[in-house]
Amino acid sequence: MPPEPAVPALRLRGLGKRFGRTVAVDALDLDIPAGSFYGVVGPNGAGKTTTLSMATGLLEPDTGTVHVHGVDVWREPARAAALVGVLPDGLRLFDRLTGPELIAYAGLLRGLRPDVVAARRDDLVAALDLGGAGRTLVTDYSAGMTKKAALACALVHAPRLLVLDEPFEAVDPVSAAAIRGILRSFVAEGGTVVLSSHVMALVEATCDHVAVVAAGRVLAAGTVEEVSAGRGLDQRFVELLGGGAGPVELSWLRPSSG
């Protein structure tokens, strides 16, 4: 791994968000070093999606700051947006376009030149095996295919930081392996990946760093070795969440993996 530069790829300070009376994210601090493959894990409702939405400029935080490679996401949104690729979870796509059209659309929205978009789209269609769907509209895609098309949209403008919310949900194992390969080579080239998941095994196998989030706060963060402390991430996760969260809760974590 290259030596960590001083400026983190993503730097969250005092990030907070409430929905009515519910505190979703509570003064959250997190540094994600450039060039890391970072997993954010936590139980459902821990505030992962809210945190990642605020980090990528899709949701306004109540308090706190977000910096991407030193650029303030909420002060200089256009500069920051060019650095970040986003895969949100649970949001729709413009599903009356075909997959290749959607990828091109995402690139064009960012103002890329049409010839550049054309070349990148063809590469992405090949790499993510979207060619078989041909001219089918995204609305007729399966969930996994839709996920892959959305991932391609996040990649098309060649960002330095990728923020992916549940990227492997509903994706078949072959596609998941292909996606992991793409993400690994992206990190090897100096890019940074942040992904959220509630599947420990996946994070342990894929990421080099991990943060455990619960109730809108970071319980532990660091390299996978540091956080798991020689006991395995599952075990550590149970300990961090405290007595109430025993193996009964973990039993639903594993079978829900796609």
Partner 1 sequence: MAATVLRLRFALLRNTLRAEPWRLVLLVVGVLWALLALPSVLSGAVWLSGQGVDVAHDVLVVAGTLLAVGWAVVPVVLPSLDDSLDVRRFATSGVPPHRLVPGLLLASLLGVPTAFTAMVCLAPVIVWGGPGTRPALVVAAVLAPVLAATCVVTSRVATGAVARALGARRAREAGLVLALVGVLALVAVVAGVGRLGLEGALERVPAVAEVLGWTPLAAGWAAPAALAAGDVPGAVGRGAVAVGSLAAAVLAWTRLMRLAVVRPPAQHGALRRRTDGVLPVVARVARGRWGGPGGVAATAVALRSLRSWTADPRYAAALLGSVAAPVLIVVLVATVVDTPAALPLGLAPFVAGSIGWGRHDDVAYDGSAFWLHVAARVPGWSDRLGRAVGVLVWAVPLVVVVGVGGALVAGRADLAAASVGAGLGVLGAGLGVSAVTSAALVYPVPAAGGDPYAAPPGSVGASLVAQLVSSVATAVVCAPVLVAYAFAVWRDARLGWVALAVGAVVGGAALACGVVLGGRVLDRGAVRLLTRLRS
**Do the Cβ atoms of 241 and 219 come closer than 8 Å?**
yes
Q: How far apart are CA 215 and CA 111, in angstroms?
A: 38
Of the candidate residues 108, 158, 201, 215, the single one contacting partner 1 (CB under 8 A)? 108
Position 21 contacts partner 1 (CB under 8 A): no
Which span (38-46, 73-81, 188-196, 207-215) binds partner 1, by CB under 8 A?
73-81
Q: Is residue 106 near partner 1 by the rule CB under 8 A?
A: yes
d(CA 237, CA 248): 13
Q: By CB under 8 A, tell whether 113 contacts partner 1.
A: yes
Q: Confirm or reject binding of residue 119 to partner 1 (CB under 8 A).
A: no
**Is 96 an interacting residue with respect to partner 1 (CB under 8 A)?**
yes
H or E element at residue 21: none
Q: Which H or E run includes 37?
A: strand 37-41
**CB-based contact 156:111 (threshold 8 Å):** no
x/- track of binding to partner 1 for residues 153-182 (CB under 8 A):
x---x-------------------------
Q: How many residues bind partner 1 (CB under 8 A)?
A: 44
H/E stretch holding 12 reads strand 10-19
13: Cβ–Cβ under 8 A, 6 or more apart, which residues?
29, 64, 65, 66, 67
* Residue 193 near partner 1 by CB under 8 A: no
Question: In the complex, which residues of this chain contact partner 1 (CB under 8 A)?
Answer: 56-60, 77-78, 81, 84, 86, 88, 90-98, 100-101, 104-106, 108-115, 117-118, 121, 134-137, 139-140, 153, 157
